[in-house]
RNA sequence: GGGCAUGUGGCCUAGUCAGGAUAGGGCGUUAGCCUCCUAAGCUAAUGGUCGGGGGUUCGAAUCCCUCCAUGCCCGCCA
């Protein structure tokens, strides 16, 4: 209803003024919607903005299409306040299962996210990528797109060669109960120490890389095993964060099936190509890059970029919109990749970059072992949540308390990460991660549980949609914006808008809860309020699901 | 040195792309609210040169220039 109403007003205003843009803005405290069109018309008409606004208000008021909308001017501003019929339709729509789901679309979307190297567990920096990507994928599906989520496994890089070397020579054994990814990280850290102490080991690493590229059976087997051991642990962490990938794409695939060679052949024929023996690079100065873009080393082995181009060429052939979620450290290579694809006549991906997460003591690094793992974070937050549930709901069984604690913990982690806009670099903060008040998922989950509790006690009620109380009206208007928020998230690739939005709805519901009695109201007033509680419950539920957070009915 | 990004009360953050009406929240601090639908809640108080300076505009947190601070990148690593 919100989008439709804004569109209608925009169309009528354009028709009336002949302007291209109706200059609609948020009405703030003054109205539901406002237009600043009077300012831009002032010069052309040589009249003062307030006069023009008053004039337009009068002309719009008599249009039958705008019945039920209060139109008035305040100085130069043209204001619109939506009426009872609008509120009624919004609440009715918000109660339907699946509210917020947009019209089915046929553009195929791929989203690549996380894609952390399989040389250790996911840490709190990686999961910013994960949670942004997963929330985006959920939003795309909500917006009606067929969407496939991919994890690109760098399974033949130097890091993996280091892990393989470590596994074969350092004699480190996996501890009982140790997750594969944590075990691989220990090997990786130790191997790097060994290399630092004895640089001659690099020769062995290089040999491994040549052998894997040639497709040597034994080496391939060793790489595969090391990667699988790690990925198995990463998958467990992803599952615990409510994150799902539809496909794990191995970069070695593009070498094995010949795609990379075909792409390199194409690139070698381009004007920008520079070939020196087995060495191949691209001169991207025409695209504004100073350094050459290396694709093959002097020994003829390919670098990551070559495989990445092949991967993206494959994606362009199979999807209409390709989205990559990448850390800020990939900005340069992302831009080089895009420039190269453009030169090849391919469509570059849409890249959503997010800035770094660091620790108070400095940057995180898998190699040096200085990071807070996602598993550790989940464990700590779950323990803290369990403590809280036990305090609040001692009557529940340990199993029930644990189930709630898990849902609260995953929600708290996901929300804490997704609420910050991607372009801000952040410092990981335990106090904030363990805070379950106000601007947090538990706060929203709690509002949802409250709504459920009221409805459970209410029994049957009639459909009545009449609202006069300011708390009712404010809540209804917030609920009505949900579909518009989904649209913004997928068009601007800004998942944090969902977090901001859901917090607004929860805030308004909690105020409503405090000041407007529902079960104690009588007759049609009670029915109308119960309908609004149900609409809020459903909106919170749908929005929480889009954020990958459980909508608990009791907590 | 060059490139990209960020800078909003003691701390965290929305708003910046598509400029508009007194810059929204939260944490903290202070003072209230559970014989009343779950207090993971509600209300109020406190606290701001929107990094500094210049410019464009009827109007700038938002656009342009410049300076400062911070993060990231500038590998035949990924």
Q: How far separated are the first and last CA of chain A, in Å rounded? A: 32
Give me the percent of chain A exceeding a pLDDT of 90. 90
**Which of these three, A24, A59, A82, is where a domain ends?**
A82
Does residue A89 lie in a domain region?
no
Residue A273 contacts by C-beta under 8 Å, 6 or more apart in sequence?
A267, A280, A281, A282, A283
CA of A347 to C1' of B2 (A): 28
Q: In the structure, what pLDDT confidence band is assigned to residue A46 with cuts at 50, 70 and 90?
A: confident
> Is A510 inside a domain boundary?
yes
* Separation CA A199–CA A204 (nearest Å): 10
| C-beta separation of A541 from A551 below 8 A | yes
**Nearest DNA or RNA nucleotide to A279 (CA to C1'):** B76
* Distance between CA atoms of residues A281 and A264, nearest Å: 10
Pair A282, A425 in one domain: no
Answer with the residue of higher pLDDT: A28 or A529.
Answer: A529
Do residue A260 and residue A394 come from a single domain?
Answer: no
Q: Are residues A159 and A303 in the same domain?
A: yes
* pLDDT higher than threshold 90 for residue A274: yes
| Assembly ipTM | 0.95
Q: How many residues does chain A have?
A: 555
pLDDT of residue A157: 87
Residues 204-243 of A with CB under 7 A from strand B: none
Co-location of A392 and A259 in the same domain: no
Q: What pLDDT sits at residue A3?
A: 94
CA of A375 to C1' of B78 (A): 23
Q: What angle is formed at CA A409 by the lines to CA A408 and CA A411, rounded to 5 degrees? A: 65
Is residue A100 left, alpha or beta, with left meaning phi > 0 and alpha meaning psi from -120 to 50? left
Look at residue A498 and tell me whether its pLDDT is greater than 90.
yes
Is residue A307 within 8 A of residue A254, CB to CB? The reply is yes
| Residues A387 and A514 occupy one common structural domain | yes
Q: Do A310 and A385 belong together in one domain? A: no
Q: What is the CATH number of the domain that holds A492?
A: 1.10.730.10
Question: Is residue A279 within 8 Å of A296, Cβ to Cβ?
Answer: yes
Task: Select from A331, A358, A385 the last residue of a domain.
Answer: A358
Q: How far is CA A214 from the centre of its chain?
A: 38
- How many CB atoms are closer than 10 A to CB A276? 9
| Model pLDDT, residue A369 | 87
A289 touches strand B (CB under 7 A): no
SS3 A74: strand
Rounded to whole angstroms, the distance from the CA of residue A354 to the C1' of nucleotide B73 is 14
The whole-angstrom separation of Cα A351 and Cα A493 is 9
Mean of the pLDDT values across residues A52-69?
Answer: 94
Distance A21 CA to B62 C1' (A): 19
What does the block give as tokens for A202? 């690099």
Residues A348 and A389 in one domain: no
> Is strand B within 7 Å of residue A28 (CB)?
yes
Spell out the residues 6+ positions from residue A36 whose beta carbon is closer than 8 angstroms to its own. Answer: A23, A25, A76, A77, A78
User: How far is residue A296's CA from residue A202's CA, in Å, rounded to a whole number?
Assistant: 19
- CA of A119, C1' of B47: distance in angstroms: 47
Q: Which residues of A44-55 are buried (b: 16+ CB within 10 A; e: fewer)?
A: eeeeebeebbbb
The reply to whether the CB atom of residue A441 sits less than 7 A from any atom in nucleic acid chain B is no
Same-domain check for residues A397 and A290: no
Q: What pLDDT was estimated at residue A215?
A: 87
Residues A228, A323 within the same domain: yes
DSSP category for residue A362: B
- C-alpha distances (whole Å) from A144 to each of A113, A140, A181, A478, A488 are 20, 6, 35, 22, 13
Q: What is the pLDDT of residue A361?
A: 85
pLDDT exceeds 90 at position A279: yes
One domain for residues A415 and A497 = yes
Is the residue at A102 inside a domain?
no
Would you say the C-beta of A356 is within 7 Å of strand B?
yes
Mapping DSSP onto H, E and C, the string for A407-454 reads HHHHHHHHHHHHCCCCCCCEECCHHHHCCCCCCCHHHHHHHHHHHHHH
pLDDT at A159 > cutoff 90 = yes
Dist CA A303 CA A307 (whole Å): 7
Domain assignment present for residue A105? The answer is no
- pLDDT of A526 reads 96
Res. A419: pLDDT tops 90: yes
For residue range A181-230, list pLDDT tens digits in order: 999 999 999 999 999 999 899 999 999 999 998 889 999 999 999 999 99
Q: What is the pLDDT of residue A20?
A: 85
A284 and A343 within one domain: yes
Last residue of one domain, picked from the residues A60, A82, A104: A82
Does residue A551 fall inside a structural domain?
no
Pairing of strands A69-74, A109-112: unpaired
From the alpha carbon of A288, which nucleotide's C1' atom is closest?
Answer: B3
Q: What is the mean predicted confidence (pLDDT) over A255-261? A: 94
Angle at A161 between CA A160 and CA A167, to 5 degrees: 90
Question: Would you state the pLDDT for residue A310?
Answer: 97
Chain A 244-283 residues whose Cβ is under 7 Å from strand B: 251, 276, 279
Alpha-carbon gap, residue A50 to A52, rounded angstroms: 5
| CB of A527 nearer than 7 A to strand B | no
Residue A487 falls inside a structural domain: yes
Whether A271 has a pLDDT exceeding 90, the answer reads yes
Residue A33 lies in a domain: yes
Domain boundaries, position A247: 113-358
- Flag whether A14 is in a domain: yes
pLDDT at A213: 87
Q: Do A149 and A399 form a contact (C-beta atoms < 8 A)?
A: no
pLDDT tens, residue by residue, A83-139? 999 999 999 999 999 999 999 999 999 999 999 999 999 999 999 999 999 999 999
Q: Provide the domain count of chain A.
A: 3
Å between CA of A116 and C1' of B69: 31
Q: Is the CB of A314 under 7 A from strand B?
A: no
Round and report the angstrom distance from CA (A421) to C1' (B8).
14
Q: Which nucleotides along chain B are within 7 A of a protein C-beta?
A: 3-7, 12-15, 17-18, 20-22, 25-28, 36-43, 58-59, 71-78
Q: Rounded mean pLDDT of A134-156?
A: 97
Confidence of residue A290 (pLDDT cuts 50, 70, 90): confident
A160 and A74 in a single domain? The answer is no
Per DSSP, what are the bridge partners of residue A35?
A24, A78
CB–CB of A322/A374 below 8 Å? no
Give me the CA A497–C1' B67 separation in Å, rounded.
33
Residue A5 CA and nucleotide B33 C1' are separated, in Å, by 40
How far apart CA A275 and CA A296 sit, in angstroms, is 9
Using a 7 Å CB cutoff, list residues 400-429 of A near strand B: 404, 408, 419-421, 423-427, 429
Strand B within 7 A of A27 CB: yes
């Amino acid at each position: 209803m919100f989008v439709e109403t804004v569109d209608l007003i925009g169309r009528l205003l354009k028709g009336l003024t002949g302007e291209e843009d109706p200059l609609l803005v948020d009405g703030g405290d003054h109205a539901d919607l406002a237009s600043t069109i009077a300012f831009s018309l002032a010069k052309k008409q040589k009249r003062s903005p307030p006069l023009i606004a008053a004039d337009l208000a009068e002309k719009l008021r008599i249009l039958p299409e705008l019945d039920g909308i209060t139109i008035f001017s305040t100085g130069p501003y043209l204001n619109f306040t939506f009426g009872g019929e609008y509120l009624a339709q919004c609440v009715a729509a918000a109660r339907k299962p699946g509210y917020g789901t947009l019209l089915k679309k046929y553009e195929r979307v791929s989203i690549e996210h996380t894609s952390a190297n399989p040389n250790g567990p996911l840490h709190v920096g990686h999961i910013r990528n994960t949670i942004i990507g997963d929330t985006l994928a959920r939003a795309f599906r909500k917006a009606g797109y067929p969407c496939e989520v991919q994890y690109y496994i760098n399974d033949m890089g130097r890091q993996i060669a280091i892990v393989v070397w470590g596994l074969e020579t350092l004699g480190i054994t996996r501890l009982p109960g140790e997750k594969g990814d944590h075990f691989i990280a220990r090997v990786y850290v130790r191997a790097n120490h060994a290399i630092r102490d004895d640089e001659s080991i690099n020769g062995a690493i290089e040999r491994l890389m040549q052998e894997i590229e040639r497709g040597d059976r034994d080496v391939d087997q060793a790489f595969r095993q090391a990667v699988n051991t790690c990925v198995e642990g990463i998958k467990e962490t992803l599952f615990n964060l409510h994150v799902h990938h539809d496909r794990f794409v191995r970069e070695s695939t593009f070498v094995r099936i010949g795609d990379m060679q075909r792409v390199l052949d194409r690139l070698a024929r381009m004007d920008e190509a520079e070939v020196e023996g087995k060495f191949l690079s691209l001169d991207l100065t025409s695209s504004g890059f100073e350094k050459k873009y290396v694709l093959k080393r002097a020994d003829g082995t390919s670098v990551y970029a070559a495989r990445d181009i092949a991967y993206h060429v494959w994606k362009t052939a199979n999807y209409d919109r390709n989205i990559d979620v990448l850390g800020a450290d990939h900005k340069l290579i992302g831009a080089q990749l895009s420039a190269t694809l453009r030169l090849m006549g391919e469509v570059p991906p849409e890249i959503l970059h997010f800035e770094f997460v660091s620790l108070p003591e400095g940057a995180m690094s898998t190699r040096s072992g200085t990071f807070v793992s996602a598993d550790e974070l989940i464990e700590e937050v779950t323990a803290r949540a369990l403590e809280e549930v036990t305090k609040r709901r001692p009557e529940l069984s340990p199993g029930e308390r644990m189930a709630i604690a898990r849902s609260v913990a995953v929600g708290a982690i996901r929300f804490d990460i997704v609420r910050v806009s991607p372009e801000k670099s952040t410092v990981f903060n335990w106090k904030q991660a363990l805070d379950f008040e106000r601007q947090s998922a538990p706060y929203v989950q709690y509002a949802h549980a409250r709504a459920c509790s009221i409805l459970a006690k209410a029994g049957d009620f009639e459909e009545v949609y009449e609202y006069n109380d300011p708390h009712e009206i404010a809540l209804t208007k917030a609920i009505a914006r949900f579909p518009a928020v989904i649209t913004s998230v997928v068009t601007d690739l800004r998942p944090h808008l969902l977090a901001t939005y859901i917090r607004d709805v929860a805030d308004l519901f909690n105020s409503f809860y405090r000041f407007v009695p529902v079960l104690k109201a009588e007759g049609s007033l009670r029915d109308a309020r119960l309908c609004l509680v149900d609409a809020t419950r459903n909106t919170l539920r749908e929005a929480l699901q889009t954020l990958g957070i459980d909508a608990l009915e009791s907590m």
